[in-house]
Structure 1
Amino acid sequence: MSLETHKTALIVGAGSGLSASLARLLAKQGLQVALAARDTAKLQPLVEETGAVAFAADTADAGAVAGLFDAVQARFGDPDVVVYNASGRLRGPLVDLDPAGVERVLAVTAFGGFLVGQQAARRMLPHGRGAILFTGASASVKGYARSGPFAMGKFALRGLAQSMARELAPQGIHVAHFVIDGQIRDAAHQGSPDRPDSTLDPDAIAQSYLAVLQQPRSAWTWEVELRPWLETF
């Protein structure tokens, strides 16, 4: 199935790694790509490579998120594909965690997902089509020690995605959640030479996102779990 009905993609929480792989792949598919991040300067190399347009936005701010979608609509029209990659992390013993820091993690990881999902749905519903994709993690389904805030945020994001999928699928909008259950390969995490593919290749993950976008609506999935074939945990 082609992506002929998809013209514009908005990747929120963009950066290197998975977001960059998605931007490259979707641009090759002929989509106009918009990238959103708090710091757009870091996106300049990717913008030059893919022809994407970068927008500054704080995903935890309702006004900023609404403004982001207005800006994308003015430049490209309503986005057909919206990917939420933003998340926050705070590690440490439970008794030592700063409540303000925990609040920020939840605001970015979960509340930001709601804000972006809501704005995307408002713009897709009049068209009766579109796709909203949420990036999860191992912490979406299992909470690790000293990582409570991240698990709280990712559990909430997964619940949001499941609820949205059940509500919006009958109205033509495909909502899917991706459990990235392992370390994504980057410059600092290449994996051990004697254990090839022990980390997830971001380009390979992007191909799975594309496969979901290409699913016929008679067989949509709401969740995909991806992990390296050699697990280290």
Structure 2
Amino acid sequence: MNLQNARILLTGGSLGIGKATAAMLTAAGAKVLITGRDEARLQAAAAETGAAYVVADIAEPEGIERMFAAVQTQLGGLDVLINNAGTGEFGTLDQIDLASFERVYRTNVFGLALATQKAAEIFKAQSAGNIINIASTAATRGFAHGTVYASSKFALRGMTECWQAELRPHNVRVILINPSEVTTAFAQTSRQERPEEANKLSAKEIAHSIKAALEMDDRGFIKELTVFATNPF
């Protein structure tokens, strides 16, 4: 697709992968609307990237409604949904509880699915659209302490495959991107960005992958893309 004037909704855009992606897409000429829960961080990210913003929590139904109202008022329509907002909790099998699953799944699975449902209505009506789901290498293999987080990303991978089958007849591309470890604020209680490390991925590599996947001619799409650091040791 041509990113010039493309209308893009990007959840979780105030830090890390979301902010780097917003910067790269606006630089390519796209109109980007970022979402998040912290207005101060959103304002700072919007000023840095040139994106518009709306304060909205994808885990709450009213947050989803606020997002899509802003899509119409601030973008005037939608061409791309990037499901980047995500959270994680970690613990051994004997440490996890129902509340942990509920907190993570409300963002990573339930809210994401309901937001995608609303985007899909728009895309089917216009017979065109793009959905990018940011999962993780945890969507492809489990690991110790990862029951809650990995299972949510396995669920996202499964939903992505379902949506690919359902939406291809409507000319809608659904793409899954699995980053390996990225030096971002994810899972940091302070929500402070981690400094880049030469042997690990930065948010820019994932932003590049998102941009490249979108820029493929509309006749084709990448079903799933996994990104690893070249030499993490």
TM-score, scaled relative to structure 2: 0.90
Query: Structure 1 residue 170: deviation in Å?
Result: 2.1
Does the 8 A contact of 2:182 with 2:203 survive in 1? Answer: no
Which residue is equivalent to 1:2?
A: 2
Structure 1 residue 104 corresponds to structure 2 residue 103:
yes
2:196 to 168, 172, 190: 190
Query: Structure 1 residue 150: deviation in Å?
Result: 0.2
Residues 51-86 of structure 1: per-residue CA shift (max 9 Å, x gap): 322111121223321231022212221221111111
Residues 136-171 of structure 1: per-residue CA shift (max 9 Å, x gap): 112111111112100111111111111111211221
User: Aligned pair count?
Assistant: 226
Does the 8 A contact of 1:60 with 1:115 survive in 2? Answer: no
Residues 20-43 of structure 1: per-residue CA shift (max 9 Å, x gap): 111111111111111111222212
1:69-218 equivalences under 5 Å are 69-184=68-183, 187-191=193-197, 196=198, 198-218=199-219
Residues 78-137 of structure 1: per-residue CA shift (max 9 Å, x gap): 221111111121111211223212211111111122012111111111111111101011
Which secondary structure does the structure 1 equivalent of 2:173 belong to? strand
Does the 8 A contact of 1:12 with 1:37 survive in 2? Answer: yes
Query: Structure 1 residue 7: deviation in Å?
Result: 2.2
Cα distance in 2 for residues equivalent to 1:190 and 1:38: 24
AA in 2 matched with 1:2: N
Does the 8 A contact of 1:105 with 1:153 survive in 2? Answer: yes
AA in 2 matched with 1:202: A
| Larger displacement relative to structure 2 (37-46 or 173-182) | 37-46
AA in 2 matched with 1:15: S
Cα distance in 2 for residues equivalent to 1:72 and 1:37: 14
| Larger displacement relative to structure 2 (199-208 or 19-28) | 199-208
Cα distance in 1 for residues equivalent to 2:67 and 2:142: 32
Cα distance in 1 for residues equivalent to 2:50 and 2:194: 27
Cα distance in 1 for residues equivalent to 2:99 and 2:180: 28
Query: Structure 1 residue 50: deviation in Å?
Result: 2.6
Query: Structure 1 residue 185: deviation in Å?
Result: 5.6
Give unmatched runs, 5+ long, in structure 2: 186-192
Cα distance 1:185–1:41, how it changes in 2: closer, same or farther (>3 A)?
closer
AA in 2 matched with 1:29: A
Which residue is equivalent to 2:16?
A: 17
Compute the RMSD of aligned alpha carbons. 1.8
Query: Structure 1 residue 189: deviation in Å?
Result: 4.6
Give unmatched runs, 5+ long, in structure 1: none
Cα distance in 1 for residues equivalent to 2:160 and 2:41: 28
Cα distance 1:103–1:228, how it changes in 2: closer, same or farther (>3 A)?
same
Which secondary structure does the structure 2 equivalent of 1:14 belong to? coil
